[in-house]
Amino acid sequence: MEKDSKIFIAGHNGMVGSAVLRALTAAGFSNIITKNRAELNLENQVEVNSFFKTQKPFAVIDAAARVGGILANNTSPYPFLMDNLKIQNNLIDAAHNNGVQKFIFLGSSCIYPKMAQQPIKEEYLLTGSLEPTNQWYAIAKIAGVKACEAIRKQFNKDYVSLMPTNLYGPFDNFDLESSHVLPAMIRKFHEAKIEGHSTVTLWGSGKPMREFLHVDDMAQGVLFAVNNELPEHLYNVGYGSDVTIKQLAEIVQQTVGHNGEIVWDSTKPDGTPRKLLDSGKLMSMGFSPTIDLETGIAQTYEWFLKHQNNFRALDLKELTKEREF
């Protein structure tokens, strides 16, 4: 792709979108367009169609979605299903109808069956039942993968899906109700240290395993897909190894410098027991993550310390309202 090709990054204010914007800018891409939610509500089909008709981007990176941790997913199934379907349908369909040559759709490792063989290969998609806590979000993401695959098959366009593992890094959501586990742990251990609390309560049993990829490594994966026409429709993007939630807690606790006991709240769900991705397909083509978990957590904690008065938070109450355009 030419450095001056017009690229639309949807969701550029989010954790992934902002990392992709940094990576593409650093790589010399000079014609990137972005719109915040007030300028372009991606759930609104009329607005999205009109934007694509006017702008005619060459490529689209879809990093916009309704995103949240296990509790938000489990308690607000409808917006996690419907908002994601709306956003991705509007983007994919408008892209297809307005000459977009390259579309990069971001899904999630939760699209794979709950009890999938580990590490999870791309071909395990749709071979078993989903994890109940995030099946709503997963069904939407699977529909996005299939929409891109269908366009690729029928119209021979370079529409590709990347499936990231659990991500973390700068501009994450640190809200304790709606966030993913890693930012929640950073905030919980930090606040316990500052407020002198000897115990920190974490969710579930601590036994599930998760694979964590720093968002700047993820952005390199997206850059790789921008620079190369990938031969298949679906690629996993992971770090290559995983840890238990208990091990993660110990790394975060040590990084933050909290001394004390961890209490496990068994009323909260564990979610899927393990979801280690086999990212061999993308790695064999040249993608290679560079940020190990300890370094990434230390860097993210530093970022948190600088930005802790300015968190992004998902308003769980807003997810219970009916909305119309």
Ligand X SMILES: C[C@H]1O[C@H](OP(=O)(O)OP(=O)(O)OC[C@H]2O[C@@H](n3cnc4c(=O)[nH]c(N)nc43)[C@H](O)[C@@H]2O)[C@@H](O)[C@@H](O)C1=O
From 70-78, 119-127, 162-170, 275-283, give the range in contact with ligand NDP by CB under 6 A: 162-170
Residue number, nearest CB to ligand X = 69
From the candidates 112, 137, 159, 168, give the one annotated as an active-site residue: 137
17 near ligand NDP (CB under 6 A):
yes
Q: Which two tokens stand for residue 91?
A: 């983007």
282 near ligand NDP (CB under 6 A):
no
Q: Interface mask (CB under 6 A) for ligand NDP, residues 182-211, using x and -?
A: ------------------------------
Cα separations in angstroms, 73 against 80, 136, 178, 216, 324: 6, 8, 8, 24, 21
Provide DSSP, 79-129. HHHHHHHHHHHHHHHHHHHTT--EEEEE--GGGS-TT--SSBPGGGTTSSP
How many chain residues are in contact with ligand NDP, going by CB under 6 A? 23
Q: Judged by CB under 6 A, which of 14, 119, 208, 289 binds ligand NDP? A: 14
Among 182, 254, 247, residue whose Cα is nearest residue 215? 182
Preceding omega of 119 cis (within 30 degrees of 0): yes
Q: Judged by CB under 6 A, which of 8, 24, 43, 185 binds ligand NDP? A: 43
Residue ranges of the annotated binding site are: 11-17, 106-109, 141, 164-167, 180, 188, 203, 210, 270
Q: Judged by CB under 6 A, which of 41, 133, 134, 255 binds ligand NDP? A: 41
Phi, psi angle pair for 10, to nearest 5°: -85, 130
137 is catalytic: yes
106 near ligand NDP (CB under 6 A):
yes
Residue number, nearest CB to ligand NDP = 14
167 near ligand NDP (CB under 6 A):
yes
The number of helix segments (H) and strand segments (E) in the chain equals: 10, 12
87 near ligand NDP (CB under 6 A):
yes
Q: How far apart are CA 187 and CA 174, in angstroms?
A: 7
Q: Which two tokens stand for residue 263?
A: 């209490």
Strands 243-244, 209-210: pairing is antiparallel
Nearer to ligand X, 57 or 269 (CB): 269
65 near ligand NDP (CB under 6 A):
yes
Nearer to ligand NDP, 217 or 258 (CB): 217
Instruction: Name the residues that contact ligand X, by CB under 6 A.
Output: 68-70, 73, 108, 110, 134, 137, 166, 179-181, 184, 202-204, 208, 210, 245, 268-271
Q: How far apart are CA 229 and CA 246, in angstroms?
A: 39
Segment 118-157, which members bind ligand NDP (CB under 6 A)?
none
Among 134, 165, 300, residue whose Cα is nearest residue 242? 165
Give me the active site residues, please. 137
